[in-house]
Amino acid sequence: MMQRFILIIILSSLVISSCGPQDPKIQYSELVRSERAKNIRVDSIFFGYYFGMPRREFYERSWTLNKEGKVMDGVNNLFIQYSLRKNELRDSGSMNFFPDFHQDKIFKMRTEFAYDDWAPWNKSRFSDSLLPDVLNFFKDWYPGGNPFITITDSTRGTIHVKVDGNRRILIGKFDERLVKAEITDLTVEDALLKASRNEPR
């Protein structure tokens, strides 16, 4: 699902706020191209994880964080969970995360955010309210570099993108409960896309 989520950014007709009449797909491409041309690597993710971290080191780091009480087993034991406090979001919530690996090294970190007291009848805890909280949370975690670009997509609603060097952060509402974010090494993603185009059909 998140792969489709990314492709929507690149392939759909988008309207970027404060960008004027230029085609938003071109603006996004120009942002990525200008950042990649700087040949600056920004490999930090969070909690000591980084792009290129070997799989074994990832598990060792996660085990250390777990022993320190900073993270715990997440959803269905398929994620790692970090509990968010009220000073990090408007109310207590959780971030579940797990990386994608290429050649046994991290190149993408997937995250899911939700309020702890979400319920179908509790409209104030829907992802519409959570999205700006998560955006502010990421702005605190990643204060430098380029600002987030706000995008309005007819299918997904409001999406926020930040590109610094090879690192792209993508934040968007997934459903009524979840906000998802991806932190991706564009260098690896570009190589994977090129390889997929060259595969025999």
* pLDDT score, position 153: 66
Q: Which position has the token pair 């085990």?
A: 63
* Cα gap 160→35, rounded to integer Å: 17
Calculate the average pLDDT of the chain.
85
6: confidence class by pLDDT, cuts 50, 70, 90: very low
Which contacts of 16-20 are long-range, i.e. CB under 8 A and separated by 24 or more positions? Answer: 16/149, 16/150, 16/151, 16/152, 17/150, 17/151, 17/152, 18/150, 19/149
DSSP letter at 36 equals H
State in Å, rounded, how far the first CA of the chain is from the last one.
Answer: 23
* pLDDT score, position 11: 39
* pLDDT score, position 24: 54
Average pLDDT over residues 28-44: 89
* pLDDT score, position 118: 87
169: confidence class by pLDDT, cuts 50, 70, 90: very high
Q: Which helix H or strand E contains 4, and what residues bound it?
A: helix 2-11
